[in-house]
Structure 1
Amino acid sequence: MTTPHNGDWDDDLADILQRLVTLTPPTSAPLAPPVPPTPSAPPTLPPQSPPAAPAGTGPVVDEWWRKSGPVVHTPVPLGGDQPTGRPSFEAAAQAFWAPVGQILTQQVPHIAEQVGQQVTQLMTETEAQRHAREQVQYETLIAQQRAERDAAFAAAGESTEQRAERHRIEQLLAPGRHRDDLVGMVDLLADRIGETPDERATRRRAEHELDRQRARAREDAARAAAGETPEQRTRRHREQQLADRREARTRARRQRRRAARTAGPSDRTRRFRRWCVLTAISATAGWATGLVALIAPGGPFVGLLVATFGWALDLQVRDRGRQRVSEVTGPFPLITLVALRVPVASGLAVAAGLDRLLAALPLH
């Protein structure tokens, strides 16, 4: 049951609710900050910087337009207008390539002319002209290098005698001139195939002599660095010259023997008979001195042993066997040979059983 009092209370409550709804704003999402308008194009020059900020507030940002809105990139063509005070791209490229173009303009015609001359020369010159040109170029280079070394040593205090000695050693130590390419190899092969045995022997002797001179020049330099005096070097060179003369005589003698050994069979027969005669004389001398009778009781084996020792001594005396028995000439060399071959002949006589034949001969 509704009373008049309760009805007034309901109307009052409805009136209060209506006022509350009217006064309270509707709940919604927070509003975004307002977006400033986007500039139409980035500025070409930065604006005047604002007054300096107080100390401790951080650096002043000049790019105010980037901080005030989204970044917008506006492409600018390379050939377009550039900021005031900056050269254009074409001007910078022209300034960079101008020295290069000038150098190429000056050098390219000269290089082309030189290349053309060289190609023409290589295509038209003969083999003799090519060798002459290379020889002149080689000698010019060597002379230039020697002049530079002479100037350096002269500045260091080198005397005239020292320079002459250094030039001699450098000439000995300098390797022979030859080409290291395919043409040089073919030329060397043609020379080796076409040379005769005499030319080959002469070339080998020359190479051996040159190698020996180079070795001695290196030895002189090493001894001079170790403190050898000029008098000691002169004495050593004198001894080396004497040794070279002995070696030359020995080489000539061996050459004569080698040439004599190329004779025919008749010469071989004559040399064998001469060997037999000299050996028989040595065996007779061994019987006369009693050496055969001394080794005869030992039998053939003792005779072979004595003959072996005597043969080793005989080979050592005869230039290690390079000189044959039949090649010994002259009275004194023959007497020396017969005396040295007594052990050989005596041992052979005992080993062959010829001691009885020697005993039967009227040698006493």
Structure 2
Amino acid sequence: MTIPPPPSEPPTADMPTPDSESVAEWWRKSGPVIPPPTQPPAPGQPDTTVHTPIPIAAAPATQAATMAAAAEAFWAPAGKLFAEQASTIAFQVGEQIGQLLTETEAQRTARQQVEYEEMLAGQRARMDAALGKVGETAQERSARHRVEDILTPDRPAQRDDLVGLVDLLADRLAETPEDRAARLETQRELAKQRARAEDDRARAAAGETPAQRDLRHRQQQLADRREAKLRTRRQHRQAARTKAGSSDRARRFRRWCVLTAISATCGYATGLVQLAAPGGPFVGLLLAGAGWALDLHLRDRGRLRVSEVRRPGPLLILIAARVPVASGLAVAAGLDPLFAALPLY
């Protein structure tokens, strides 16, 4: 469409003045008139045809049919996809509910183990193929498989679907304190093995030799045995404290008083009480605090109580280690003049 030429007169040429007649009367009589459609202009002539917009309601039937067909063609794939997804989700939920209601515990465990092993085998095959293309040797592949076996848990991971959620809730509700302690211990051991496998991988990449790795593993095994023995002793002590009654607590308190008095007497005999006495109770408390920190460190950070030491050798070590604590308590309580009446010399 060509642009019409500009008008020969300004738009306000025939507009009335405010004194002659009203604007509304002028608009009614001499307002703009839309001319009827004319024939197409001749070649070289400007197009002066005024195009009148057609309302949507008055659009031809063919145009409406075309729009409906376009909308249907646009939404057809989306509707098909939604229908497929809805049917797939409904089938999966129905299958899981059916498995939950019909399968026994042994059948579910066996099926999950098979699925888990198939998934691991597929992952390992893809990894072997990918690393084989870049030149991985058989020795490197066997070493990587050993590390992967350590890092990969022996049992299948917890499922993230409805069956896994129900199984997890059932296990937690029926779990006893002993089962929970065993589960937490297993998780700690698995985390330790994974951390050590990652350490082995990092050290091997840094150039650690097999002899050095074997020596480090031997040291770790010795440390693990010592830690296991220490944990066993702590559990026995905790079980004994749980079973103890009021009479046992009173007997332990008397034993603590006797051992503390012996340590304070040793402190007076060595002159530690006389040395701290001029400073007053404040110095006694400082001495007791410093000795208490050493005492807690020697008694497994306070897990081993004073009244739980039994054998002669550990008792002598305990009395000697608690001399600063007992001396500071004696000075803070003002009991240092009492030791002068004792026939210690």
Whole-angstrom distance in 2 between the partners of 1:135 and 1:305: 61
Which residue does the alignment assign to 1:140? Answer: 118
TM-score (norm 1): 0.62
1:173 paired residue number: 151
Instruction: Return the alpha-carbon distance in structure 2 between the equivalents of residues 134 and 345 of structure 1.
Output: 62
Counterpart secondary structure, 1:172? helix
- Is residue 237 of structure 1 aligned with residue 245 of structure 2? no
Structure 1 residues 358 and 188: alpha-carbon distance in aligned structure 2, compared to 1, 3 A threshold: same
Match among 337, 340, 345 for residue 359 of structure 1: 340
Q: Kindly tell me: are residues 270 and 213 of structure 1, through their superposed partners in 2, closer, same or farther at Cα, counting changes over 3 Å?
A: same
In the alignment, the residues of structure 2 paired with residue 214 and residue 280 of structure 1 have an alpha-carbon distance, to the nearest angstrom, of: 50
Q: 1:19-34, aligned counterparts within 5 Å? A: none
CA distance in 1, matches of 2:102, 2:276: 82
Displacement after TM superposition at 1:131 (Å): 4.0
Return the alpha-carbon distance in structure 2 between the equivalents of residues 145 and 125 of structure 1. Answer: 30
Unaligned runs of 5+ in 1: 1-114
**Structure 1 residue aligned with 2:268, among 275, 287, 296?**
287
Map Cα deviations across residues 102-143 of structure 1 (whole Å, 9 max, x no partner). Answer: xxxxxxxxxxxxx9xx97xx6895334344334323323433
SS class of match (1:332) = helix
> Is 2:273 the partner of 1:296?
no
Tell me the secondary structure at the aligned position of residue 225 of structure 1: helix
Q: 1:135 to 1:296 in 2, by over 3 A?
A: closer
Q: How many residues align?
A: 245
Give, in angstroms, the shift of residue 174 of structure 1. Answer: 2.0
Change (3 A) 1:131 1:290: closer
Q: TM-score, normalised by structure 2?
A: 0.65
Q: Compute the RMSD of aligned alpha carbons.
A: 2.5
Match of 2:307 in 1: 326
Partner amino acid, structure 1, of 2:151: L
Question: In the alignment, which residue of structure 1 is the partner of 2:137?
Answer: 158
Q: Distance in 2 between matches of 1:125 and 1:194?
A: 21
* Alignment-mate amino acid for residue 202 of structure 2: A
Paired amino acid for 2:312? P
Q: Structure 1 residue 226 and structure 2 residue 206: aligned? A: yes
Quote the offset at 1:164 in angstroms: 4.0
Deviates more, 1:145-154 or 1:353-362: 145-154
Match of 1:271 among 241, 252, 262: 252
Q: How does 1:1-364 map to 2 (within 5 A)?
A: 126-127=103-104, 128-150=106-128, 156=135, 158-159=137-138, 162-175=140-153, 176-262=156-242, 263-364=244-345
Which amino acid in the other structure matches residue 205 of structure 2?
Answer: A
**Residue 275 of structure 1, CA deviation:** 0.5
Deviation string, structure 1 residues 37-57 (Cα, Å, up to 9, x no partner): xxxxxxxxxxxxxxxxxxxxx
Q: What displacement does 1:264 show?
A: 1.0
Alpha-carbon distance between aligned partners in 1 of 2:229 and 2:140, rounded to the nearest angstrom? 34
Unaligned runs of 5+ in 2: 1-90
- CA drift of 1:320 comes to 1.4
Instruction: Quote the offset at 1:223 in angstroms.
Output: 1.5
**CA deviation map 1:3-46 (0-9, x unaligned):** xxxxxxxxxxxxxxxxxxxxxxxxxxxxxxxxxxxxxxxxxxxx
Question: C-alpha distance in 2, partners of 1:132/1:351?
Answer: 68
Partner of 1:287, secondary structure, is helix
Q: 1:286 to 1:147 in 2, by over 3 A?
A: same
Where relative contact order (Cα < 8 A, 6+ residues apart) is larger, the structure is: 2
> What amino acid sits opposite 2:183 in the alignment?
R
Q: CA deviation at 1:157?
A: 5.2
1:330 and 1:129, CA in 2 relative to 1: closer, same or farther beyond 3 A?
closer
Give the % identical residues.
66
2:213, 2:311 → 1: CA distance? Answer: 39
1:261 match: secondary structure: helix
Give the CA deviation at 1:339. Answer: 0.7
2: distance between equivalents of 1:230 and 1:261? Answer: 46
